[in-house]
Homo-oligomer: A and B are copies of this chain.
Amino acid sequence: MEWTTNSLGRAIPTEIAGRILRPYGDMEAVTRFVPGKKKPCAGDCAQIARRRLDKRVASWDELLDRLSIRDGATISFHHHLRNGDRIVNEVVSRLAARGVRGLRLAATSLFPVHDALLPYIRSGVISRIESSMNGSIGSACSHGEIEEVCILRSHGDRQRAIAAGELKIDVAFIAAPCADSFGNANGLSGKSACGPLGYARPDSQNAACVVVITDGLVPYPCQHWSIQGSNVDYVLEVESIGDNAAINFGTTKLTRSPTQLIIAETTARFIETAGIMKDGFSFQAGAGGISLAAIVFLAKRMREARVKAAFAHGGGTGALVGLLNEGLLGSIIDLQSFDLEAVRSCAENPNHIESDPYASYGPLAKGCVADMLDVAILGATEVDIDFNVNVNTHSDGLLLHGIGGHTDAASSAGCTIITAPSFRKRIPVIREKVTTLTCPGKYVDVIVTERGIAINPIREDLVEKVTGSGLPLVSLEELMHDVQKITGVPEAPHFKERPVALVEWRDGSVIDIVRELDV
């Protein structure tokens, strides 16, 4: 056995059972984190340990000086404040003023409030977007206005890509309604309370640098660590991170549209008839008009049949909170709150559980919440006769929506139901081929339209259960032809060859591309 001596004069073998031993040395021994240093303090800075860590910076300028973000850097944001967010625009405009260019924007989603980014996209401050692009920014992408090819990922795929190192984040900016000087943060309290902060968790765990921006600084320790301060580099206190009253953007009140009400009621009827609605079942539904109405109709059937669901998953809404409080629902597993009633419930009710994209949708996880779903009620812009679904582009080829949790839920739930009208504004929704293929038909079990229900033939079990029940079953081909009699066969959009966005499947493979419009 060979021996050496460490810096404290202790004799240490050089090797044990094939492991080369590293003798203790003062230089390496200090693992104290020093804010602003990439690596732990390398000198003998034992004295630094005598002060409490305080990660606060005094101003935006001090923060950005310390971050020294370079051209081409990737910056990330979460969308828990939805259309009320003030942080994305603030950061990008400040970086633009500093002359930074070629940024990759990796937000979890973008909203109309972020249309303010369009000038920065056109001027090259932002050259890539890896995020859900909704509305004007999606449209700009379709028209070839974003310099580089963008990437559309589901919530689960984004978490996977970050954990796998495919999406490397240089700086994560995390807007936090409640945080302490160490960076522990949550969205449950504070004037901008927005509920869960889970979408930012992968960023906080993997970004090279993590900044918490808060308008609700509390003394250390902030109680509920949705974001662990041990992952945070800097804390910036600001007057306002946004307007939490705007988190209900994109969700609607209960629909009055007769078409939508028919679809919603048919969906609820199908779920009961197919035997899915039984004690202890679980469901996920979006916050759109049809989904909200479907939940109302389903709840009515649950009351009548005295059936209780174990949990609902997805975005928290006042409607779900009502069911939870009524006892029709055992738990809500909440990735983001869509209204302030859900925010309050998430803060106060232990049965209202805050989740994150790994636990809810993680493709590399050992199972996720979506795997525990009996039924998912999802939307679509188009469906084709092979049950393939498009949620990203409209039939005119414009990119107008992100994937969200669609493919994660669709490929995991026990029964995936797509609710959609058979046509919108004289444009058929049921098509020979979808314009963009977001989710393969093999994961799509049922299409519910106002003209009937189409069940994927691979789900013989479902066909068998509802046959003879009086439910209006149709085939997608028939439906397509019926609709075409009303709408005609619309002309396909004209595309250039150039891809403007990749659509990733949950495993990071490319399931489709979006091409630049030729107009």
* A residues with CB within 8 A of B: 1, 6, 8, 10-13, 16-17, 21-26, 28-33, 35, 40, 44, 46, 49-53, 55, 148-149, 182-183, 210, 219-221, 223-225, 228-233, 280, 310-311, 330-331, 333, 350-351, 353, 358-359, 362-369, 371-374, 388, 411-415, 437, 440, 442-443, 458, 497, 499, 502, 505-513
Contact = CB atoms under 8 A, between A and B. Distances in A.
B351 A223 contact: yes
Of A331, A366, A373, most B-chain CB atoms within 10 Å: A366
Given A49-B414, A229-B366, A230-B362, 14 more contacts: A1-B497, A8-B437, A8-B440, A8-B511, A10-B437, A13-B513, A26-B442, A32-B411, A46-B411, A46-B443, A51-B414, A52-B371, A228-B359, A229-B359
A210 B366 contact: yes
A10 B29 CA distance: 55
Contact of A510 (B23, B231, B369): B23
B366 A231 contact: yes
Given A8-B511, A219-B330, A509-B29, A230 B24 contact: no
Contacts of A502: 16, 21
Contacts of A22: 508-510
Contacts of A497: 1
24 contacts: A6-B510, A8-B440, A10-B513, A23-B510, A24-B440, A24-B505, A25-B509, A26-B440, A26-B442, A29-B509, A31-B411, A33-B365, A33-B367, A35-B367, A49-B411, A49-B412, A50-B415, A52-B371, A52-B374, A53-B372, A221-B310, A221-B311, A225-B353, A228-B359
A232 B372 CA distance: 14
A310 B220 contact: yes
B149 A230 contact: no
A384 to B, nearest CB: 11
A109 to B, nearest CB: 22
A376 to B, nearest CB: 11
Contacts of A223: 331, 350-351, 353
List the 3 shortest-distance A-B pairs measured between CB atoms, nearest first: A230-B365, A31-B363, A24-B511
Given A440-B29, A505-B24, A512 B372 contact: no
Chain copies in the assembled complex: 2
B442 A46 contact: yes
Nearest to A351: B223
Contact of A367 (B12, B13, B182, B388): B182
Given A353-B223, A366-B231, A371 B510 contact: no
Given A182-B367, A371-B53, A513-B13, A31 B507 contact: yes
Contacts of A509: 6, 21-25, 28-29
Contacts of A369: 221
Nearest to A515: B11
Contact of A358 (B219, B230, B368): B230
A332 to B, nearest CB: 10
A26 B411 CA distance: 12
Contacts of A29: 411, 440, 505-507, 509
Given A228-B359, A230-B368, A368-B230, A10 B512 contact: yes
Contacts of A228: 358-359
B511 A10 contact: yes
Given A230-B368, A366-B210, A511 B6 contact: yes
A234 to B, nearest CB: 10
A513 B1 CA distance: 14
A506 B21 contact: no
Nearest to A22: B509
A414 B49 CA distance: 6
Nearest to A416: B49
Contacts of A358: 228, 230
